[in-house]
Chains A and B, each alone.
Chain A
Amino acid sequence: MKDRPNILVIAIDSLRADHLGCYGYPHATSPNIDAFAREGALVERFVCAGLPTHPSFTTLYTGQHPITHGIVAHGPRNALGKDSPFLPQVLLEEGYTTCAVDNLATGRLWFRRGFEYYIDPSMRHSLYIDVTSEELNARAIPWLKAHADEPFFMLIHYWDPHWPFNPPARYQHLFYEGNPTDPGNRALERWWQHPLGAVAKDTWMRRPEGLITDPDYITALYDREIRHVDDGVGALLGALDRFGLSDDTVVVLLGDHGESLVEHGIFFDHHGLYDVTLHVPFLVRWPGHVAPGTRLARMLQHHDIAPTLLDAAGVRIPREMDGESFLGLLTGASDAAGRERAVSCECTWQAKWSLRTDRHKLILARAPDLYGSPERELYDLAADPREERNMADENPELAAALTDELESWIATRLSALGRSEDPLRQHGISLNFS
């Protein structure tokens, strides 16, 4: 037994919580992840702080909210400041052997910080998002075996549930019966008018038998990709068992952001500050420390992850991290953690802030979006969990109060950082893939 635990972070791109069995999904998308969830803790309300992938992973690594680290969008205008702390860098300095099985550093070099080993199997693909869980595991599992005697930190980034949804043929019988290319089905025509929809229509939605027209089929493809990555997770956890590492390893499984499938007229992408995109799974297994079957109802966010993992490793948490450790919640030692408010933002496909309370969510646009959505949206998450009825006009007092609270939060944080301009206004919508 080592005196410090190994840390394995399993990050799954575009994985929304409500399509996993352990979060109540009725289809068998996730038998391995569900079994893993039963062995440790499940966070019921884990809310993404920054969309999409680059802001979210930067938040995870730095332990800072996007307003602090400044990476609010994809695109070349971004650069992470040297003064931002970085989880693998801290762990490396503390004697951990650090390894990423990932490809984000191909686009942005800061994702390489602090990793002694950076393994990128996607270099064999023309599109980095095409890398499969099998290819990642083929590199990750031998690495785990080779480094079993060292305290290690590994982050593995699976991409299977990210579009384009092209699951292997062995999953093709799952979750759908119908005619995916029925020319009479016009349910996606509005989506074809969106620039992202036009790209999808021209590329991955085009099959030898014709153009996919049934959104239910695409949802099934997404679910098949979840089953695909679930098998990958099962293989990785199985290897951890075989190498005798499971008892000594804190394993975290999370989504960087979710995916809007058909909701709100946003088809098959991860923009929009609705819960389908913000609510992601967060699971932790640490035998002997986290009781099996633990469920946490408190609201948590990605910038809480790095402080928590450093806490678990017994490492001092850099004061520049503005997330909070929730290790006490996980172990049952304390209940003094969790958020009453969660602020999220996006600036890649649209520029918006959101403020989530226990009961309500306010979404505030800094620029018009392509859907013609109102500048301000307010939802009662208890009465309307699908966020289908904007009540900003019928409850203007509450909308104004939450707007004031959000604007005040932004202004206070900026002031503390010595800045004045809202980063969404400063950056502008990037419309950038990578």
Chain B
Amino acid sequence: MTQDSHVATTDAQTLVQSYLDAFAARDLARCLDFYAEGAEVKFVSGVYAGRAALEEWHKERFAADLQILRVDSVSVDRDTVKIDLMLASNRLKFFRINSLAARATVRLDAGRIREAHFGPRFTDPFEGW
């Protein structure tokens, strides 16, 4: 995706969905192109800052075959998109976790990702009782 098309993509939700599509396609260059200069990824409690670190983070996730099983909800609040999803990966499978409730919180700035936080999502064990 080119910088021009980034700028043209004003709808935050669409932009984040496009990023997730690129992630699912394992398209590293396209994924990185979504990020602004100096962007950060927070992964659980880890922080990846700078292009080399972001590249490494994506490669590690691809190597672990991180997959989005299901999107449970999407909400947009000004420049921030919050997505609740269910994930699976080889790394989780090692620990006998077949799926994990997760949340992606993505803050945008001028049509690019400024900051993204990916982490597990608290699920109330008494929900639905």
Q: Please determine whether A106 and B46 come into contact, CB atoms closer than 8 angstroms.
A: no
Return chain A residues, CB-CB under 8 Å to B121.
126
Q: Please determine whether A432 and B95 come into contact, CB atoms closer than 8 angstroms.
A: yes
Return chain B residues, CB-CB under 8 Å to A210.
53
Give the A-B contact count at a CB cut-off of 8 A. 58
What is the total number of residues of chain A having a CB less than 8 Å from a CB of chain B? 27
Give the shortest distance, in Å, between B60 (CB) and chain A (any CB).
6
B125's nearest neighbour on chain A, judged by CB, is: A106
Q: Please determine whether B91 and A198 come into contact, CB atoms closer than 8 angstroms.
A: yes
Give the shortest distance, in Å, between A415 (CB) and chain B (any CB).
32
Chain B contact patch, size range: 20 to 34
**Which positions 82-108 of chain B face chain A at CB distance < 8 Å?**
91, 94-97, 103
Q: Please determine whether A208 and B45 come into contact, CB atoms closer than 8 angstroms.
A: no
The yes or no answer to B48 lying at the interface (CB within 8 A) is yes
A195 to B122, CA, bound (A): 23
Q: A126-B119, A430-B96 are in contact. Are A204 and B125 (CB under 8 A)?
A: no
Return chain A residues, CB-CB under 8 Å to B44.
127, 164, 202-204
Against B, the Cβ 8 Å flags (1 = close, 0 = not) of A162-177 are: 0010100000000000
A430 to B124, CA, bound (A): 23
The yes or no answer to A79 lying at the interface (CB within 8 A) is no
Against B, the Cβ 8 Å flags (1 = close, 0 = not) of A320-356 are: 0000000000000000000000000000000000000
Q: Please determine whether A199 and B91 come into contact, CB atoms closer than 8 angstroms.
A: yes
Return chain B residues, CB-CB under 8 Å to A371.
none
Q: Please determine whether B60 and A208 come into contact, CB atoms closer than 8 angstroms.
A: no
B43 CB contact (under 8 Å) in A106, A202, A433: A202
Q: Please determine whether A126 and B46 come into contact, CB atoms closer than 8 angstroms.
A: no
A106 to B122, CA, bound (A): 11
B120's nearest neighbour on chain A, judged by CB, is: A126
Q: Please determine whether B45 and A202 come into contact, CB atoms closer than 8 angstroms.
A: no
Q: Please determine whether B47 and A431 come into contact, CB atoms closer than 8 angstroms.
A: no
**Which positions 66-107 of chain A face chain B at CB distance < 8 Å?**
75, 106-107
A206 CB contact (under 8 Å) in B47, B91, B95, B124: B47
Q: Please determine whether B122 and A207 come into contact, CB atoms closer than 8 angstroms.
A: no
**Which positions 42-63 of chain B face chain A at CB distance < 8 Å?**
43-49, 53, 57, 60
User: Can you sample 6 A-B contacts with CB below 8 Å?
Assistant: A126-B122, A128-B122, A195-B91, A203-B44, A203-B45, A431-B96
Q: Which residues of B contact A (CB under 8 A)?
A: 40, 43-49, 53, 57, 60, 91, 94-97, 103, 119-122, 124-125
